[in-house]
Amino acid sequence: MSKKRKGFRIEKDSLGEVFVPNSALYGAQTQRAIDNFPISGIKMDFPFTNSFIDSLGLIKDAAARANKSLGLLSSKKSLAISKAAKEVWQSKHNDQFPVDVFQTGSGTSSNMNANEVIASLATKYAKIKIDPNDDVNMSQSSNDVIPTAIKISAHMDLTKKLYPALDALIIAIENKAKTLKGTIKTGRTHLMDAMPIDFSEELKAWSSQLTSSKEMLNILEKKLLELPQGGTAVGSGINAHKQFAKCFAQEMSKLFGNKYKFVPSKNFYHELSAQDCSVQLSGELKNLALILMKVSNDLRWMNSGPLAGFAEIELKGLQPGSSIMPGKVNPVIPEAVAMASADVIGNDVSITVASQSGNFQLNVMLPVIAYNLLKSINLLSGAMNVLSKKAISSFKVNHGNLEASLSKNPILVTALNPIIGYEKAALIAKKAYKEKRPIIDVAAEETDISKAKLKKLLDPAKLSKGGT
């Protein structure tokens, strides 16, 4: 190897020498990963969240504190590592994490990236050599660091981003439902006219779905607090103090202001070899995506028209809808939310496939699991924010269209079944539909029931409440 290259320095690892940019805080192992994996251009410093890199900083900080308390690391080294790690978890050095997502399946490259960056900074602060492996990575392995980082970063994004967005959407829907109470519209099954419903109940069904999803997420969130850190290479805890896992979890809780109680996993072999929690969380995120897709599609159908569709509501016009058809305004927010939901469903498939690569004592697709899981959380968070602010809160109801549809709905005749029987009611419904006449007029002709009584029996508001 040439001993000189402008703008570069020479770093060494167990494989030999490698050129590293002078400006880089990282060292040889990170540089080898940069050279080895020019695959996607997607860095572990994800464009949608800093949480994964932040979690690596938190892990190194907590580990240094734990190793110090166990008498394994000097105060000088521990303090320097913690200071450097804090800068990492405060997102001050994200540009120093250039490794591609598609790298070694254990995420070793990203773990060493963090070790090297923190060691470089800590060496400067302590004014003594801080080794990336022996000091920063003490009592750890990439095989427990990366699974722990997945859990911590997912927990951070779930609690800081997804929950607030989900709560805001539920509140927006419930507030809208209150304003629509008593507004009666045609219900639909199979996309066909069905019995009338209260518009507010249609919206409350959405909020009920979302609330149910949050209940499941709350259960899974607690599992994210059970950390694999301490299992080291294969789950046995080799090269880690017997009390390290417990001490680490305590230190991590302190770094979160004791707001959350982190604990060691019940079984390290389980946590290193499998990604059950990620799969379960992704599954519920997929379910949430399906809920958002339903809400979005319902809004699109209700907004369809304005002349040849349902035209039950009018979504706020946010931008011109066509490059060729003047005056057209499209339901852009529900469409965007539906697309984000589709991507989340795809992410779940990626996580599912990646999870089956848990061979013996290690899953070897950890970085792509982290990428897709965090992408799903952040996509859903953003989608729910725009849905609540730019669609749910602002849509208007076309009351005239609702009333016109109700008056001609042949399905209202269902209320007469107990009086005239199913067959007679079916004949009335078919005639009303064929002649495009209000059901009450046809029923008055075909039965001995007075129009006044028919008006009470066929009152859509009454029918929306159910019963006989």
Task: Check if 296 is active-site.
Answer: no
d(CA 209, CA 92): 39
Catalytic residue among 2, 75, 190, 323: 190
Torsion sign across C-alpha atoms 12, 17, 18, 22: positive
Catalytic residue among 23, 322, 399, 450: 322
Structure tokens at 28: 């040889």
Task: Check if 322 is active-site.
Answer: yes
Could you tell me which of 30, 138, 28 has the C-alpha nearest to residue 77?
A: 138
Could you tell me which of 401, 417, 418, 420 has the C-alpha nearest to residue 409?
A: 401
d(CA 67, CA 248): 8
Residues with catalytic roles: 190, 322
